[in-house]
Amino acid sequence: MNPVQDAALNCIQVSHQFAGQAGQVIALAGVSFSVAAGEFVCIVRPSGCGKTTLLKMIAGLGQPSAGQILIPQPAKNTPKTAMVFQEQALLPWLNLLDNAAFGLETRGVAKPARQTQAQNFLNAAGIGQFARHYPHQLSTGMRQRGAIARAFLSGAGMLLMDEPFSALDAQTRLLMQEELLRIWKDHRKTVVFVTHDIEEAVLLGDRVLVMSGRPGRIIEDIRVPLARPRGLQDRENPEVRQLAWHIWKVIETEARRMI
Amino acid sequence: MAYLESYRNRSAADDLAPPRVRWNARALIRWAITLTALIAVWELVTRLRLIHPLWLPAPSVVAQKFAEMLASGVIVRQTTSTLTAVLLGVLMGGLPGAVLGLAMGASPRLRAIADPIVAAFHALPKIALLPLVIVAFGVGETPRIVISALGAFFPLLINGMAGARNIAPVYFEVSRNYGASRAKTFARVILPGSLPSLITGLRLAANTSLLLTIAAEMVLPRSGLGAVIWRAWETMRIEELYVGLIVAATLGISIAAISGVLLRRFAPWHGQP
Protein backbone atom coordinates (compact mmCIF):
# COMPACT_ATOMS: atom_id res chain seq x y z
CA MET A 1 0.00 0.00 0.00
CA ASN A 2 1.26 3.46 -0.85
CA PRO A 3 0.87 6.37 1.54
CA VAL A 4 -2.10 8.63 0.82
CA GLN A 5 -0.97 12.15 -0.03
CA ASP A 6 -2.01 14.88 2.42
CA ALA A 7 -3.25 12.35 4.98
CA ALA A 8 -2.82 13.24 8.65
CA LEU A 9 -1.73 9.69 9.35
CA ASN A 10 -0.53 6.80 7.20
CA CYS A 11 -0.04 3.39 8.76
CA ILE A 12 1.66 1.12 6.23
CA GLN A 13 1.89 -2.61 6.88
CA VAL A 14 2.46 -2.03 10.57
CA SER A 15 3.33 -5.21 12.45
CA HIS A 16 4.29 -5.72 16.03
CA GLN A 17 5.48 -8.79 17.85
CA PHE A 18 6.94 -9.33 21.24
CA ALA A 19 8.33 -12.19 23.28
CA GLY A 20 5.54 -13.67 25.39
CA GLN A 21 5.69 -16.55 27.84
CA ALA A 22 4.81 -19.06 25.09
CA GLY A 23 7.15 -17.76 22.40
CA GLN A 24 6.70 -14.85 20.00
CA VAL A 25 3.31 -13.15 20.13
CA ILE A 26 2.14 -11.37 17.01
CA ALA A 27 0.03 -8.48 18.29
CA LEU A 28 -0.42 -6.66 14.98
CA ALA A 29 0.02 -8.08 11.50
CA GLY A 30 0.16 -5.79 8.49
CA VAL A 31 -2.14 -3.04 9.68
CA SER A 32 -2.65 -0.42 6.98
CA PHE A 33 -4.94 2.57 7.02
CA SER A 34 -4.83 6.29 6.54
CA VAL A 35 -6.66 9.10 8.28
CA ALA A 36 -7.52 12.37 6.57
CA ALA A 37 -6.91 15.68 8.33
CA GLY A 38 -9.87 16.58 10.53
CA GLU A 39 -11.31 13.08 10.36
CA PHE A 40 -12.67 11.25 13.41
CA VAL A 41 -11.73 7.59 13.09
CA CYS A 42 -12.80 4.94 15.58
CA ILE A 43 -11.08 1.59 15.91
CA VAL A 44 -13.22 -1.23 17.31
CA ARG A 45 -11.95 -4.61 18.26
CA PRO A 46 -12.74 -7.39 20.65
CA SER A 47 -10.77 -7.12 23.90
CA GLY A 48 -7.20 -8.19 23.78
CA CYS A 49 -3.89 -6.50 23.44
CA GLY A 50 -2.70 -4.74 20.33
CA LYS A 51 -4.79 -1.60 20.20
CA THR A 52 -2.93 0.20 22.97
CA THR A 53 0.28 -0.92 21.28
CA LEU A 54 -0.90 0.57 17.99
CA LEU A 55 -1.88 3.90 19.57
CA LYS A 56 1.38 4.13 21.50
CA MET A 57 3.34 3.54 18.30
CA ILE A 58 1.38 6.31 16.59
CA ALA A 59 2.13 8.47 19.63
CA GLY A 60 5.84 7.80 19.19
CA LEU A 61 6.05 5.82 22.43
CA GLY A 62 7.15 2.62 20.70
CA GLN A 63 8.52 1.28 17.44
CA PRO A 64 6.71 -1.16 15.15
CA SER A 65 8.57 -4.41 14.42
CA ALA A 66 7.87 -3.82 10.74
CA GLY A 67 6.08 -1.25 8.61
CA GLN A 68 5.87 2.50 8.77
CA ILE A 69 3.83 5.11 10.56
CA LEU A 70 3.89 8.45 8.75
CA ILE A 71 2.70 11.68 10.27
CA PRO A 72 3.44 15.02 8.56
CA GLN A 73 5.86 17.19 10.51
CA PRO A 74 3.76 19.72 12.45
CA ALA A 75 4.54 23.41 12.83
CA LYS A 76 7.56 24.14 14.98
CA ASN A 77 7.07 23.69 18.71
CA THR A 78 3.87 21.64 18.50
CA PRO A 79 3.74 17.94 19.28
CA LYS A 80 2.64 15.55 16.52
CA THR A 81 0.08 13.82 18.68
CA ALA A 82 -1.56 14.18 22.05
CA MET A 83 -2.79 11.06 23.80
CA VAL A 84 -5.69 10.56 26.19
CA PHE A 85 -4.73 7.48 28.16
CA GLN A 86 -7.02 4.75 29.36
CA GLU A 87 -5.94 4.97 32.97
CA GLN A 88 -5.91 8.08 35.12
CA ALA A 89 -2.98 9.99 33.66
CA LEU A 90 -3.36 13.52 34.97
CA LEU A 91 -0.26 14.36 36.98
CA PRO A 92 -1.40 13.89 40.62
CA TRP A 93 0.83 16.75 41.86
CA LEU A 94 -0.64 19.39 39.54
CA ASN A 95 -4.07 20.91 39.91
CA LEU A 96 -6.62 20.61 37.12
CA LEU A 97 -5.63 23.95 35.59
CA ASP A 98 -1.91 23.13 35.40
CA ASN A 99 -2.69 19.66 34.11
CA ALA A 100 -4.90 21.04 31.35
CA ALA A 101 -2.15 23.54 30.49
CA PHE A 102 0.64 20.91 30.48
CA GLY A 103 0.88 20.71 26.68
CA LEU A 104 1.05 24.51 26.49
CA GLU A 105 3.75 24.51 29.14
CA THR A 106 5.94 22.02 27.25
CA ARG A 107 5.61 24.30 24.20
CA GLY A 108 6.96 27.16 26.23
CA VAL A 109 3.77 29.26 26.47
CA ALA A 110 4.16 31.77 29.33
CA LYS A 111 2.30 31.03 32.55
CA PRO A 112 -0.39 33.76 32.46
CA ALA A 113 -1.23 33.02 28.81
CA ARG A 114 -1.45 29.27 29.26
CA GLN A 115 -3.50 29.57 32.43
CA THR A 116 -6.01 31.89 30.78
CA GLN A 117 -6.32 29.54 27.82
CA ALA A 118 -6.74 26.49 30.05
CA GLN A 119 -9.23 28.27 32.30
CA ASN A 120 -11.35 29.24 29.29
CA PHE A 121 -11.32 25.68 28.03
CA LEU A 122 -12.28 24.29 31.45
CA ASN A 123 -15.06 26.88 31.75
CA ALA A 124 -16.46 25.78 28.41
CA ALA A 125 -16.28 22.17 29.56
CA GLY A 126 -18.25 23.11 32.70
CA ILE A 127 -15.46 22.28 35.16
CA GLY A 128 -13.97 25.75 35.46
CA GLN A 129 -14.78 26.00 39.17
CA PHE A 130 -12.60 22.94 39.86
CA ALA A 131 -9.49 24.45 38.26
CA ARG A 132 -7.59 24.59 41.57
CA HIS A 133 -8.52 21.05 42.62
CA TYR A 134 -6.07 18.19 42.47
CA PRO A 135 -6.97 15.04 40.54
CA HIS A 136 -7.59 13.03 43.74
CA GLN A 137 -10.30 15.55 44.65
CA LEU A 138 -12.14 15.05 41.36
CA SER A 139 -14.49 12.35 40.10
CA THR A 140 -13.28 9.92 37.44
CA GLY A 141 -15.39 11.70 34.83
CA MET A 142 -13.91 15.10 35.68
CA ARG A 143 -10.39 13.71 35.54
CA GLN A 144 -11.03 12.32 32.08
CA ARG A 145 -12.48 15.65 30.97
CA GLY A 146 -9.29 17.25 32.25
CA ALA A 147 -7.23 14.77 30.22
CA ILE A 148 -9.28 15.60 27.12
CA ALA A 149 -8.79 19.32 27.77
CA ARG A 150 -5.03 18.72 28.05
CA ALA A 151 -5.02 16.93 24.69
CA PHE A 152 -7.06 19.59 22.87
CA LEU A 153 -5.00 22.41 24.36
CA SER A 154 -1.65 20.83 23.44
CA GLY A 155 -1.84 22.19 19.90
CA ALA A 156 -1.24 18.73 18.44
CA GLY A 157 -3.04 18.21 15.14
CA MET A 158 -3.97 14.66 16.00
CA LEU A 159 -5.51 13.31 19.18
CA LEU A 160 -5.17 9.67 20.17
CA MET A 161 -7.76 8.32 22.55
CA ASP A 162 -7.29 4.95 24.15
CA GLU A 163 -10.68 3.83 25.47
CA PRO A 164 -10.93 7.08 27.40
CA PHE A 165 -14.40 6.34 28.75
CA SER A 166 -14.04 2.65 29.54
CA ALA A 167 -13.56 3.24 33.27
CA LEU A 168 -16.68 5.39 33.58
CA ASP A 169 -20.18 4.31 34.54
CA ALA A 170 -22.75 4.04 31.74
CA GLN A 171 -24.45 7.40 32.36
CA THR A 172 -21.26 9.39 32.75
CA ARG A 173 -20.03 7.72 29.59
CA LEU A 174 -23.03 9.01 27.61
CA LEU A 175 -22.46 12.53 28.89
CA MET A 176 -18.77 12.34 28.04
CA GLN A 177 -19.58 11.22 24.50
CA GLU A 178 -21.85 14.23 24.14
CA GLU A 179 -19.15 16.47 25.58
CA LEU A 180 -16.51 15.10 23.23
CA LEU A 181 -18.79 15.65 20.21
CA ARG A 182 -19.30 19.24 21.32
CA ILE A 183 -15.60 20.00 21.84
CA TRP A 184 -14.65 18.29 18.59
CA LYS A 185 -17.25 20.32 16.65
CA ASP A 186 -15.54 23.50 17.89
CA HIS A 187 -11.94 22.40 17.32
CA ARG A 188 -12.03 19.92 14.40
CA LYS A 189 -8.91 17.95 15.22
CA THR A 190 -7.97 14.64 13.65
CA VAL A 191 -8.94 11.94 16.14
CA VAL A 192 -8.06 8.26 16.37
CA PHE A 193 -10.32 6.77 19.01
CA VAL A 194 -10.00 3.18 20.19
CA THR A 195 -12.96 1.57 21.91
CA HIS A 196 -14.71 -1.74 22.21
CA ASP A 197 -18.09 -0.05 22.64
CA ILE A 198 -19.59 -0.43 19.14
CA GLU A 199 -22.38 2.17 19.60
CA GLU A 200 -19.80 4.65 20.85
CA ALA A 201 -17.65 4.09 17.75
CA VAL A 202 -20.59 4.59 15.37
CA LEU A 203 -21.92 7.62 17.22
CA LEU A 204 -18.55 9.42 17.31
CA GLY A 205 -16.69 8.37 14.18
CA ASP A 206 -16.71 9.46 10.56
CA ARG A 207 -15.24 6.02 9.94
CA VAL A 208 -15.09 2.84 11.94
CA LEU A 209 -12.17 0.46 11.47
CA VAL A 210 -12.99 -3.02 12.71
CA MET A 211 -10.01 -5.04 13.87
CA SER A 212 -9.65 -8.74 14.43
CA GLY A 213 -8.21 -10.30 17.56
CA ARG A 214 -4.65 -11.54 17.78
CA PRO A 215 -2.94 -11.08 15.41
CA GLY A 216 -4.64 -7.72 14.98
CA ARG A 217 -5.47 -6.69 11.44
CA ILE A 218 -8.12 -4.46 9.96
CA ILE A 219 -11.00 -6.55 8.65
CA GLU A 220 -13.45 -3.83 7.73
CA ASP A 221 -13.38 -0.08 7.04
CA ILE A 222 -16.85 1.41 7.35
CA ARG A 223 -17.93 4.97 6.61
CA VAL A 224 -20.65 6.24 8.96
CA PRO A 225 -23.27 8.02 6.82
CA LEU A 226 -24.58 10.13 9.65
CA ALA A 227 -24.86 13.92 9.44
CA ARG A 228 -23.09 16.23 11.87
CA PRO A 229 -23.52 17.77 14.32
CA ARG A 230 -24.45 14.61 16.15
CA GLY A 231 -25.93 14.18 19.59
CA LEU A 232 -26.98 11.48 21.99
CA GLN A 233 -30.37 11.19 20.24
CA ASP A 234 -28.49 9.66 17.29
CA ARG A 235 -28.01 6.53 19.37
CA GLU A 236 -31.66 5.77 18.58
CA ASN A 237 -31.21 6.48 14.87
CA PRO A 238 -32.10 3.31 12.89
CA GLU A 239 -29.02 3.79 10.71
CA VAL A 240 -26.77 3.76 13.76
CA ARG A 241 -28.49 0.69 15.16
CA GLN A 242 -28.19 -1.11 11.86
CA LEU A 243 -24.53 -0.27 11.49
CA ALA A 244 -23.78 -1.25 15.07
CA TRP A 245 -25.52 -4.57 14.55
CA HIS A 246 -23.53 -5.14 11.38
CA ILE A 247 -20.26 -4.49 13.20
CA TRP A 248 -21.32 -6.77 16.02
CA LYS A 249 -21.91 -9.55 13.51
CA VAL A 250 -18.42 -9.02 12.11
CA ILE A 251 -16.69 -9.44 15.46
CA GLU A 252 -19.19 -11.70 17.21
CA THR A 253 -17.44 -15.03 16.61
CA GLU A 254 -14.16 -13.63 17.80
CA ALA A 255 -15.71 -11.92 20.82
CA ARG A 256 -17.33 -15.22 21.85
CA ARG A 257 -14.02 -17.01 21.50
CA MET A 258 -12.38 -14.48 23.84
CA ILE A 259 -14.75 -15.07 26.74
CA MET B 1 -12.50 3.61 56.22
CA ALA B 2 -10.92 7.00 56.58
CA TYR B 3 -11.63 7.54 52.92
CA LEU B 4 -15.30 6.62 53.39
CA GLU B 5 -15.62 8.97 56.35
CA SER B 6 -14.10 11.89 54.55
CA TYR B 7 -16.33 11.14 51.59
CA ARG B 8 -19.45 11.04 53.71
CA ASN B 9 -18.58 14.33 55.36
CA ARG B 10 -18.16 16.13 52.07
CA SER B 11 -20.54 18.93 51.31
CA ALA B 12 -21.03 21.17 48.30
CA ALA B 13 -18.92 23.83 49.99
CA ASP B 14 -16.07 21.31 50.42
CA ASP B 15 -16.21 20.57 46.73
CA LEU B 16 -15.67 24.21 45.84
CA ALA B 17 -12.87 24.93 48.30
CA PRO B 18 -9.82 22.68 48.22
CA PRO B 19 -10.06 20.53 51.36
CA ARG B 20 -7.77 21.52 54.19
CA VAL B 21 -6.15 19.25 56.73
CA ARG B 22 -7.74 19.83 60.11
CA TRP B 23 -5.81 19.77 63.36
CA ASN B 24 -6.70 16.54 65.09
CA ALA B 25 -7.51 17.37 68.74
CA ARG B 26 -8.59 13.85 69.63
CA ALA B 27 -5.25 12.35 68.60
CA LEU B 28 -3.45 14.99 70.65
CA ILE B 29 -5.49 14.17 73.77
CA ARG B 30 -4.79 10.45 73.37
CA TRP B 31 -1.13 11.21 73.01
CA ALA B 32 -1.14 13.39 76.16
CA ILE B 33 -2.84 10.60 78.14
CA THR B 34 -0.20 8.08 77.08
CA LEU B 35 2.59 10.46 78.05
CA THR B 36 1.04 11.23 81.46
CA ALA B 37 0.57 7.53 82.17
CA LEU B 38 4.18 6.84 81.25
CA ILE B 39 5.47 9.57 83.59
CA ALA B 40 3.17 8.35 86.38
CA VAL B 41 4.53 4.81 86.10
CA TRP B 42 8.07 6.18 86.06
CA GLU B 43 7.45 8.27 89.23
CA LEU B 44 5.85 5.25 90.94
CA VAL B 45 8.74 2.95 90.07
CA THR B 46 11.28 5.36 91.59
CA ARG B 47 9.12 6.13 94.66
CA LEU B 48 8.79 2.42 95.40
CA ARG B 49 12.55 2.09 94.94
CA LEU B 50 12.10 -0.64 92.38
CA ILE B 51 15.06 0.78 90.52
CA HIS B 52 17.97 2.52 92.20
CA PRO B 53 17.70 6.31 91.74
CA LEU B 54 21.32 6.37 90.64
CA TRP B 55 20.22 4.68 87.44
CA LEU B 56 16.76 6.12 87.16
CA PRO B 57 16.03 9.35 89.05
CA ALA B 58 12.38 10.31 89.57
CA PRO B 59 10.76 12.40 86.83
CA SER B 60 10.19 15.17 89.34
CA VAL B 61 13.93 15.32 90.05
CA VAL B 62 14.70 15.30 86.33
CA ALA B 63 12.12 18.00 85.73
CA GLN B 64 13.69 20.18 88.39
CA LYS B 65 17.11 19.70 86.82
CA PHE B 66 15.59 20.46 83.45
CA ALA B 67 14.20 23.77 84.75
CA GLU B 68 17.58 24.67 86.24
CA MET B 69 19.45 23.92 83.03
CA LEU B 70 16.85 25.79 81.03
CA ALA B 71 17.23 28.84 83.27
CA SER B 72 21.01 28.78 83.06
CA GLY B 73 20.79 28.65 79.26
CA VAL B 74 22.77 25.41 78.95
CA ILE B 75 19.96 23.54 77.21
CA VAL B 76 19.28 26.19 74.62
CA ARG B 77 22.97 26.72 73.90
CA GLN B 78 23.89 23.05 73.54
CA THR B 79 20.73 22.14 71.64
CA THR B 80 21.34 24.98 69.20
CA SER B 81 24.90 23.75 68.78
CA THR B 82 23.74 20.20 67.99
CA LEU B 83 20.90 21.37 65.74
CA THR B 84 23.24 23.61 63.75
CA ALA B 85 25.50 20.64 63.05
CA VAL B 86 22.47 18.52 62.08
CA LEU B 87 21.05 21.20 59.75
CA LEU B 88 24.40 21.89 58.07
CA GLY B 89 24.92 18.17 57.68
CA VAL B 90 21.47 17.62 56.16
CA LEU B 91 22.07 20.50 53.77
CA MET B 92 25.59 19.54 52.77
CA GLY B 93 25.10 15.78 52.70
CA GLY B 94 21.39 15.46 52.02
CA LEU B 95 21.13 17.73 49.01
CA PRO B 96 23.78 15.95 46.94
CA GLY B 97 22.35 12.65 48.18
CA ALA B 98 18.86 13.52 46.95
CA VAL B 99 20.11 14.74 43.57
CA LEU B 100 22.27 11.65 43.00
CA GLY B 101 19.42 9.42 44.17
CA LEU B 102 16.91 10.94 41.73
CA ALA B 103 19.42 10.65 38.89
CA MET B 104 20.05 7.00 39.79
CA GLY B 105 16.33 6.35 39.97
CA ALA B 106 15.72 7.86 36.54
CA SER B 107 18.74 6.33 34.81
CA PRO B 108 19.20 2.53 34.88
CA ARG B 109 22.72 2.95 33.48
CA LEU B 110 23.86 5.25 36.29
CA ARG B 111 22.17 2.94 38.78
CA ALA B 112 24.08 -0.07 37.49
CA ILE B 113 27.38 1.76 37.94
CA ALA B 114 26.75 3.54 41.22
CA ASP B 115 24.49 1.22 43.21
CA PRO B 116 27.18 -1.28 44.30
CA ILE B 117 29.43 1.56 45.46
CA VAL B 118 26.57 3.19 47.35
CA ALA B 119 25.64 -0.14 48.95
CA ALA B 120 29.22 -0.70 50.11
CA PHE B 121 29.65 2.74 51.68
CA HIS B 122 26.18 2.70 53.20
CA ALA B 123 27.09 -0.44 55.13
CA LEU B 124 30.04 1.23 56.90
CA PRO B 125 29.32 2.41 60.44
CA LYS B 126 29.78 6.14 59.93
CA ILE B 127 30.84 6.81 63.52
CA ALA B 128 33.78 4.45 62.98
CA LEU B 129 35.02 6.92 60.38
CA LEU B 130 35.33 9.64 63.04
CA PRO B 131 39.06 9.03 63.68
CA LEU B 132 39.74 9.39 59.93
CA VAL B 133 37.60 12.51 59.79
CA ILE B 134 39.49 14.00 62.73
CA VAL B 135 42.80 13.23 61.04
CA ALA B 136 41.54 14.94 57.89
CA PHE B 137 39.76 17.96 59.40
CA GLY B 138 41.31 18.47 62.84
CA VAL B 139 39.40 18.67 66.10
CA GLY B 140 37.39 21.87 65.50
CA GLU B 141 33.75 22.18 64.47
CA THR B 142 34.24 20.45 61.12
CA PRO B 143 34.37 16.72 62.04
CA ARG B 144 30.95 16.86 63.70
CA ILE B 145 29.42 18.41 60.58
CA VAL B 146 31.17 15.97 58.24
CA ILE B 147 29.87 12.99 60.23
CA SER B 148 26.38 14.56 60.26
CA ALA B 149 26.54 15.06 56.48
CA LEU B 150 27.56 11.43 55.96
CA GLY B 151 24.53 10.42 58.01
CA ALA B 152 22.15 12.50 55.89
CA PHE B 153 23.62 11.53 52.51
CA PHE B 154 22.53 7.89 52.31
CA PRO B 155 18.88 8.03 53.47
CA LEU B 156 18.11 10.81 51.00
CA LEU B 157 19.99 9.06 48.21
CA ILE B 158 18.20 5.77 48.74
CA ASN B 159 14.78 7.35 49.17
CA GLY B 160 15.30 9.61 46.14
CA MET B 161 16.21 6.59 44.05
CA ALA B 162 13.24 4.55 45.29
CA GLY B 163 10.93 7.55 44.81
CA ALA B 164 11.94 8.10 41.19
CA ARG B 165 11.69 4.39 40.39
CA ASN B 166 8.19 4.14 41.85
CA ILE B 167 6.66 6.80 39.59
CA ALA B 168 4.02 5.16 37.37
CA PRO B 169 5.38 4.76 33.80
CA VAL B 170 2.27 6.47 32.36
CA TYR B 171 3.45 9.85 33.71
CA PHE B 172 6.72 9.49 31.80
CA GLU B 173 4.70 8.56 28.70
CA VAL B 174 2.57 11.69 29.11
CA SER B 175 5.72 13.75 29.39
CA ARG B 176 7.27 12.18 26.28
CA ASN B 177 4.08 12.31 24.22
CA TYR B 178 3.60 16.00 25.02
CA GLY B 179 7.16 16.74 23.98
CA ALA B 180 8.53 17.75 27.37
CA SER B 181 12.26 18.49 27.52
CA ARG B 182 14.53 16.65 29.95
CA ALA B 183 14.48 19.61 32.32
CA LYS B 184 10.68 19.80 32.14
CA THR B 185 10.38 16.06 32.78
CA PHE B 186 12.59 16.45 35.84
CA ALA B 187 10.66 19.46 37.17
CA ARG B 188 7.16 18.16 36.39
CA VAL B 189 7.44 14.38 36.78
CA ILE B 190 10.58 13.11 38.50
CA LEU B 191 10.92 15.67 41.29
CA PRO B 192 7.24 16.02 42.33
CA GLY B 193 6.65 12.29 41.83
CA SER B 194 9.50 11.49 44.23
CA LEU B 195 8.58 14.18 46.75
CA PRO B 196 6.69 11.97 49.26
CA SER B 197 9.61 9.55 49.30
CA LEU B 198 12.12 12.42 49.59
CA ILE B 199 10.27 13.88 52.58
CA THR B 200 10.34 10.51 54.32
CA GLY B 201 14.03 10.38 53.40
CA LEU B 202 14.50 13.78 55.00
CA ARG B 203 13.04 12.46 58.24
CA LEU B 204 15.37 9.46 58.21
CA ALA B 205 18.31 11.69 57.25
CA ALA B 206 17.68 14.20 60.05
CA ASN B 207 17.37 11.36 62.58
CA THR B 208 20.56 9.65 61.43
CA SER B 209 22.37 12.99 61.48
CA LEU B 210 21.15 13.62 65.01
CA LEU B 211 22.34 10.20 66.20
CA LEU B 212 25.76 10.61 64.62
CA THR B 213 26.19 14.20 65.75
CA ILE B 214 25.43 13.30 69.37
CA ALA B 215 27.74 10.30 69.16
CA ALA B 216 30.53 12.45 67.72
CA GLU B 217 30.00 15.09 70.43
CA MET B 218 30.68 12.50 73.11
CA VAL B 219 34.20 12.08 71.77
CA LEU B 220 34.91 15.60 70.54
CA PRO B 221 35.62 18.36 73.02
CA ARG B 222 32.79 20.06 74.83
CA SER B 223 29.89 21.02 72.66
CA GLY B 224 26.35 19.91 71.97
CA LEU B 225 23.92 17.49 73.58
CA GLY B 226 26.43 14.68 73.30
CA ALA B 227 28.84 16.62 75.48
CA VAL B 228 26.06 17.28 78.05
CA ILE B 229 25.26 13.58 78.21
CA TRP B 230 28.87 12.48 78.36
CA ARG B 231 29.85 15.02 81.03
CA ALA B 232 26.85 14.02 83.14
CA TRP B 233 28.01 10.41 83.00
CA GLU B 234 31.63 11.28 83.82
CA THR B 235 30.58 13.33 86.87
CA MET B 236 27.79 10.92 87.88
CA ARG B 237 25.08 13.58 87.61
CA ILE B 238 22.60 11.13 86.19
CA GLU B 239 19.65 13.56 86.12
CA GLU B 240 21.58 15.73 83.66
CA LEU B 241 22.06 12.69 81.47
CA TYR B 242 18.29 12.18 81.44
CA VAL B 243 17.73 15.83 80.58
CA GLY B 244 20.00 15.33 77.55
CA LEU B 245 18.10 12.21 76.53
CA ILE B 246 14.73 13.96 76.87
CA VAL B 247 15.89 16.83 74.70
CA ALA B 248 17.13 14.36 72.06
CA ALA B 249 13.79 12.52 72.15
CA THR B 250 11.93 15.80 71.76
CA LEU B 251 14.04 16.60 68.72
CA GLY B 252 13.07 13.20 67.30
CA ILE B 253 9.37 13.97 67.81
CA SER B 254 9.84 17.39 66.18
CA ILE B 255 11.54 15.84 63.17
CA ALA B 256 8.65 13.40 62.72
CA ALA B 257 6.07 16.18 63.13
CA ILE B 258 7.84 18.47 60.67
CA SER B 259 8.05 15.72 58.04
CA GLY B 260 4.31 15.11 58.53
CA VAL B 261 3.58 18.79 57.98
CA LEU B 262 5.83 18.91 54.90
CA LEU B 263 4.11 15.85 53.48
CA ARG B 264 0.64 17.36 53.89
CA ARG B 265 1.73 20.76 52.68
CA PHE B 266 3.83 19.77 49.65
CA ALA B 267 2.41 16.37 48.71
CA PRO B 268 -1.34 16.64 49.44
CA TRP B 269 -2.07 13.99 46.81
CA HIS B 270 0.09 11.42 48.61
CA GLY B 271 -1.78 8.31 49.74
CA GLN B 272 -5.00 9.42 48.03
CA PRO B 273 -6.97 7.01 45.85
State the best of B177, B184, B266 to mutate against chain A, taking most chain A CBs within 10 Å. B177
- What is the C-alpha to C-alpha distance for residues B48 and A54, in angstroms, rounded to an integer? 78
Query: Which of B249, B226, B254, B251 is CA-nearest to residue B78?
Result: B226
- Per-residue pLDDT, A48: 66
Query: Do residues A200 and A165 touch, judged by C-beta distance below 8 A?
Result: yes
- How far B23 CA lies from chain A's nearest CA (Å)? 20
Distances (CA, A) of B211 to A138, A243, B126, B199, B251: 43, 73, 11, 19, 11
Q: Give the whole-angstrom CA distance, residue B199 versus residue B205.
A: 10
**Is the preceding peptide bond at B18 cis, omega within 30 degrees of 0?**
no
Strand positions, DSSP E, chain A:
7-20, 23-36, 40-44, 66-70, 81-84, 158-162, 190-195, 207-211, 218-223
| CB within 8 Å of chain B, chain A residues 129-158 | 129-130, 132-137, 150, 154
Decide if A50 contacts A28 (C-beta within 8 A).
yes
Q: Does A246 touch chain B (CB under 8 A)?
A: no
Give tens-digit pLDDT for A64-121.
999 999 999 888 788 899 999 988 899 999 999 999 999 999 999 999 999 999 999 9
The per-residue pLDDT for B6 is 43
Distance from CA of A183 to the nearest CA of B (A): 20
Contacts by B265-270, CB closer than 8 A, 24 or more apart: B266/B195, B266/B199, B267/A93, B267/B192, B267/B195, B267/B196, B267/B199, B268/A134, B268/B21, B269/A92, B269/A93, B269/A134, B269/A135, B269/A136, B270/B195, B270/B196
In percent, the amount of chain A with pLDDT more than 90 equals 66
DSSP A163: S
**Per residue in B120-162, pLDDT tens?**
999 999 988 999 999 999 888 899 999 999 999 999 999 999 9
pLDDT at B12: 41
Question: What is the tally of helices (H) and strands (E) in chain A?
Answer: 8, 9
Q: Are B157 and B94 in contact (CB under 8 A)?
A: no
Count helices and strands in chain B by DSSP H and E runs = 14, 0
Q: Write down the pLDDT at residue A3.
A: 77
In this prediction, the residues of chain B whose per-residue pLDDT falls under 50 are 1-21
C-beta atoms of B18 and A132 within 8 A: yes
**Intervals of chain A under pLDDT 50:** none
Residues of chain A contacting B267 with CB distance shorter than 8 Å: 93
pLDDT given for residue B273 in this prediction: 65
Q: Where are the beta strands (DSSP E) in chain B?
A: none
DSSP β-bridge partners for residue A222? A208
Determine the length of chain A: 259
Please tell me if residue A102 touches chain B, with a CB cutoff of 8 Å.
Answer: yes
How confident is the model at residue B22, as a pLDDT?
A: 53
CB atoms within 10 A of CB A20: 11
- The predicted pLDDT at position B5 comes to 41
Does residue B16 sit at the A interface (CB-CB below 8 Å)? yes
pLDDT, position B50:
87
For residue B269, count other CB atoms closer than 10 A to its CB.
Answer: 17
pTM over 0.90: no
Chain B residues lying within 8 Å of A154, measured CB to CB? 178
Chain B residues lying within 8 Å of A81, measured CB to CB? 177
Nearest-Å Rg of the Cα atoms of chain A is 18
Q: Which of B177, B192, B268 sits opposite A82 (nearest CB)?
A: B177
d(CA A168, CA A144): 9
